[in-house]
């Protein structure tokens, strides 16, 4: 072989080897197939009731993305509802009126398809979905949604696809399941989404065709032959895949499980502070230990602007003395002699949620603002037996009770005295919702130290669930405003100030079902700025 031929041969061999290496690297970095197909189903726009009713007509609710100040062109306009419409990421990244999201939307409450019940929006704000599945890993007792309705992420997905956000009314769940199964069976793999994610559902879900790309070849546990499977089995397979996708949504972690994406995380690292609980240490114990370590820092090293920059947040990547002061307030219990936010009692580090249920006083605040001070305390809320014996009068509508008026799962309104949202109260010990009951009771018994374990009965606990809602994760709040389950606070300043008022009410015995955690908040106006600075230090460039 001549030198020139040898050179060409070696060059060709190197090129082929480089290409194979690049392909291998891409496959190693690619999401597992179940995550990719779960994402496809998360984006699917044909599962909604509006598509069932008229597959050739777009749903008007999809025309605009609603924000707190204006409406933007919806990326899914011309189609019908999908999961991503309420849990967005980069769809409006470049619009100054919107920006990035960490799987949440921009509205106080997301709009829902029009049906005969007249509802215009969901009852509650869309919670960010990143880290929402962490209880699977950090707790034995994981339940989902603001009111704990769902025993697993798969249950949540099933209820979403057959629920009001997708246009289905109570009692239409069987029709919804049949429709979704038919969409899966009849899919031809010709649309843009199918072309991007492996082709026809029947082929991808069966998983045996040799032409399926490796990145879309499902593991056997996720495969199903839709040609022979029942509607329910197809539906369950869809829920399992979407659950796998959502469960995979987490903020940045290193190989040892430390958070690494925010200025707060960097501050802990450069000061050699504990960054996560030790083995068998609870999040509460870790949070106490971290505060002790912070208080012992004589010369803290701060994260200064310049070296690191945010790409998706309009703030400097810093953790300064202001953020540190806010952190100390956040982690400290307040009393009459010293300020303390006691925020960490519910928003425990390192995830900044205990994934439990608490009454902050927001339901009472909103009801009284409409009907007069003290009116929330006058609402006749029934005991357990009366409530369960009169489901239609007091509890939410379900497939077993489609005519229920959902009195206490309703947005408070001036023209509807006695109607409000009591959160967990609607779910706890509800016979129509048996799946999450054991977990919820365990959570509430553990939270309610004043009740002895032998007195931890459903009757005794019911009042403790009044107006209690699930604790959200506080990481990356800059991508999930507006805040609270009502979406009523546009910024963090408003949110923090609410707790000044709420804690005073609790200490003055004016707050119904007041928790000691709220009574132990003692902050004032001068604490707002450092607390907000600390909360912003939990932001990161979520990708």
Q: 456 preceded by cis ω (within 30°)?
A: no
What is the reported pLDDT for 336? 81
State the Rg of the chain over Cα: 25
Structure tokens at 471: 């604790």
Q: How many CB atoms lie within 10 A of CB 69?
A: 9
pTM value is 0.92
What is the reported pLDDT for 19? 46
| Torsion angle defined by CA atoms of residues 137, 139, 141 and 145, in that order, rounded to the nearest 10 degrees | -70
Distance set, CA 65 to CA 70, 88, 91, 198, 297 (Å): 9, 10, 10, 29, 46
Cβ atoms 125, 484 nearer than 8 A: yes
**pLDDT mean for each 10 residues of the chain (543 residues):** 51 47 49 97 98 97 95 96 97 92 96 96 96 68 93 96 97 97 97 95 97 96 98 98 96 96 98 96 96 96 93 96 98 90 97 95 98 98 98 97 97 97 98 97 85 79 97 97 97 98 97 96 97 98 88
Structure tokens at 149: 């309705």
Give domain 33-247's CATH superfamily: Cytochrome c-like domain (1.10.760.10)
Q: How far apart are CA 236 and CA 38, in angstroms?
A: 12
Cβ atoms 210, 193 nearer than 8 A: no
**DSSP label at 9?**
H
- Name which of 131, 135, 161, 162 is nearest 148 in CA terms: 135
What is the reported pLDDT for 338? 86
Q: How far apart are CA 357 and CA 362, in angstroms?
A: 13
Burial 399-410 (b: 16+ CB within 10 A, else e): eebeebbbbbbb
Structure tokens at 252: 């940045």
What is the reported pLDDT for 16? 47
Q: How far apart are CA 14 and CA 17, in angstroms?
A: 5
Burial 79-89 (b: 16+ CB within 10 A, else e): bbbbbbbbbbb
Cβ atoms 515, 359 nearer than 8 A: yes
* DSSP E strand stretches across 57-163: 64-66, 71-73
Instruction: Give pairs for 451-458: CB < 8 Å, separation 24+.
Output: 458/384, 458/428, 458/429
């Amino acid at each position: 072989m001549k030198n020139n031929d040898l050179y060409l041969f070696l060059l060709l061999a190197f090129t082929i080897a480089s290409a194979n290496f690049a392909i291998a690297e891409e496959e190693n970095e690619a999401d597992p197939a179940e995550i990719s197909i779960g994402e496809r189903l998360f984006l699917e726009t044909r599962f909604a009731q509006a598509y069932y009713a008229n597959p050739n007509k777009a749903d008007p609710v999809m025309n605009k993305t609603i924000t707190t100040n204006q409406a933007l062109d919806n990326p899914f306009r011309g189609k019908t509802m999908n999961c991503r419409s309420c849990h967005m990421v980069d769809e409006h990244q470049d619009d100054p009126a919107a920006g990035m999201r960490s799987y949440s939307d921009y509205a106080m409450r997301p709009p829902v398809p029009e049906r005969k019940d007249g509802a215009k929006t969901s009852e509650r704000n869309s919670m960010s979905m990143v880290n929402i599945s962490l209880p699977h890993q950090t707790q034995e007792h994981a339940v989902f949604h603001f009111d704990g309705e769902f025993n697993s992420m798969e249950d949540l997905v099933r209820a979403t696809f057959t629920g009001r956000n997708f246009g289905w009314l109570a009692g239409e769940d069987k029709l919804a399941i049949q429709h979704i199964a038919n969409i899966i069976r009849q899919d031809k793999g010709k649309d843009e989404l199918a072309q991007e994610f492996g082709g026809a559902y029947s082929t991808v879900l069966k998983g045996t065709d040799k032409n399926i790309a490796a990145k879309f070849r499902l593991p056997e546990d996720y495969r199903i032959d839709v040609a022979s499977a029942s509607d329910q089995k197809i539906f369950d397979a869809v829920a399992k895949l979407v659950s796998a996708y959502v469960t995979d949504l987490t903020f940045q972690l290193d190989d040892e499980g430390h958070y690494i994406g925010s200025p707060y995380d960097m501050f802990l690292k450069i000061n050699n502070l504990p960054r996560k609980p030790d083995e068998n240490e609870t999040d509460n114990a870790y949070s106490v230990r971290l505060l002790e370590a912070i208080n012992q820092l004589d010369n803290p090293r701060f994260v200064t602007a310049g070296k690191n920059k945010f790409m998706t947040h309009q703030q400097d990547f810093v953790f300064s003395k202001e953020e540190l002061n806010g952190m100390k307030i956040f982690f400290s219990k307040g009393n009459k002699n010293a300020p303390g936010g006691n925020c960490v009692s519910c928003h425990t580090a390192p995830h900044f949620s205990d994934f439990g249920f608490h009454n902050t006083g927001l339901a009472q605040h909103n009801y009284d603002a409409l009907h007069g001070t003290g009116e929330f305390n006058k609402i006749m809320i029934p005991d357990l037996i009366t409530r369960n014996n009169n489901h239609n009068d007091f509890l939410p509508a379900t497939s077993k009770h489609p005519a229920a008026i959902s009195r206490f799962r309703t947005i408070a309104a001036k023209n509807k005295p006695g109607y409000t949202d009591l959160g967990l109260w609607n779910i706890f010990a509800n016979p129509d919702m048996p799946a999450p009951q054991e977990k919820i009771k365990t959570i509430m018994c553990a939270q309610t130290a004043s009740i002895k374990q032998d007195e931890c009965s459903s009757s005794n606990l019911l009042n403790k669930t009044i107006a209690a809602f699930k604790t959200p994760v506080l990481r990356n709040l800059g991508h999930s405003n507006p805040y609270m389950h009502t979406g009523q606070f546009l910024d963090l300043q408003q949110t923090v100030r609410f707790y000044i008022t709420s804690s005073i009410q609790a200490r003055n015995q004016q707050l119904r079902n007041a928790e000691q955690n709220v009574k132990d908040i003692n902050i004032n106006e001068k604490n707002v700025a450092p607390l907000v600075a600390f909360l912003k230090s939990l932001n990161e460039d979520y990708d």
